[in-house]
Structure 1
Amino acid sequence: MRSVRESPSHPDGIALGQELSLRVVLFHEAVASRLGLNATEHKLLSLIARDPGIGPSELVAHTGLSHPAITKVVNRLVDLGYTERRRDGSDRRRFTLYATPLRQQRMAGAFAPMAEAMEALVGGMDEAERRAVTRWVTGTIDILRRSTAALTETTDGPAPAPTPPAYGGAAEP
């Protein structure tokens, strides 16, 4: 497989997608680290900020994580001051989650340089280029959503671990 660097004028679509995926993951790992979080905590915080008033059960449904795992992450986000719990007015046993101003302040600081650079990149595109990029990104998001659902809806369980090669004998073909 060709590297993205080998032919910048005609990059391989798969290699380009893999590079984009890698860079997005590494960027979010760096943001999480800057906030004192791990990647899972960072993504759950993003879900809470995106959907104020979300409940723990909805986080379980969105992520596939267990209730105890969600509780552990939420407790940590509350302890760090990034999230607050509020009792549900109609059901006092239930609580909902909200991102705090501290979260917004820290995220703004972490994302500002990238947001400015992205604005400059998009600002340098004409309307046809913006439409093409929008079509590719929204198509990619849809493919990722469907692919994730297909992987999580199967009942096959995780793939088996690869069998280590046998040593001391003849090489296997």
Structure 2
Amino acid sequence: MSVMTDARNLGEVWSRDELPTTGIPEPNEISSSLREINSVSRAFERRLGAVLAVNPTDLSAMEHLIQDGPLTPSDLAARLGVTTAASTLVVDRLAALGHVERHRHEHDRRKIVVVPTRASVNRAIDELMPVIMGVSRLVEELPESEREVIASFLTRVIDVYRTAVDAPLEGP
């Protein structure tokens, strides 16, 4: 067990002084920029949630519906990592706000699919397009050789995160 998860420390107040002081690389321009991108990205998601008047889970549901198309409540539950009952509540909230509609599945009339409304998608796109277009312009300005290096680096960073996400969870 690490110092941070040591069961003997459960009742004690944690102090920042307990952070390890050795073995951690010194911050550099790239790692600092990646942290800043992560932080600003989360702030942008909070802004988008505020614009759409939804909580983070509902925003995540909207992202899945916009990116992947109509989904059943069960499919949405699986993508959100929640129960079907919880996804029904998400859909109810989104429908009450006018963000989604329920429709019969085109091939299996017994099923219901959740579809984002055009107005909601347009509002989200209005917020997203300045960021999408801004990043696109930056990429277009780069020479091809730099694009390749950056793309390779970012793919490797993504792999580091995926490895961490897929690692087995340690028990308490």
Given the two structures, how large is their TM-score scaled by the length of structure 1?
Answer: 0.73
Aligned mate of 1:93, from 110, 123, 138: 110
Alpha-carbon distance between aligned partners in 2 of 1:64 and 1:107, rounded to the nearest angstrom: 23
> Quick check: 2:103–2:113 contact (8 Å CA) kept in 1?
yes
1:130 paired with 2:147, answer yes
Percent identity of paired positions between Structure 1 and Structure 2 = 26
Further displaced range: 69-78 or 142-151: 142-151
Q: 2:82 aligns with which of 65, 83, 87?
A: 65
- The aligned counterpart of 1:21 is 38
Determine which of 118, 122, 131 is the counterpart of 1:105. 122
Counterpart for residue 11 of structure 1: 29
Q: Give the stretch that moved more between structures: 44-53 or 77-86.
A: 77-86
Structure 1 equivalent of residue 71 of structure 2: 54
Runs of 5+ unmatched residues, structure 1: 4-9, 160-173
Aligned-partner SS, 2:113: strand
- What RMSD over aligned residues (CA atoms) do the two structures have, in Å? 2.3
Show structure 2 runs of 5+ residues with no match.
1-24
CA pair 33-149 structure 1, distance change in 2 beyond 3 A:
same
Amino acid at match of 2:92: N
Point out which structure has higher relative CO (alpha carbons under 8 A, 6+ apart).
2
> What's the TM-score once normalised by structure 2's chain length?
0.73
Q: Alignment length, in residue pairs?
A: 148
Alignment equivalent of 2:97, drawn from 68, 80, 88? 80
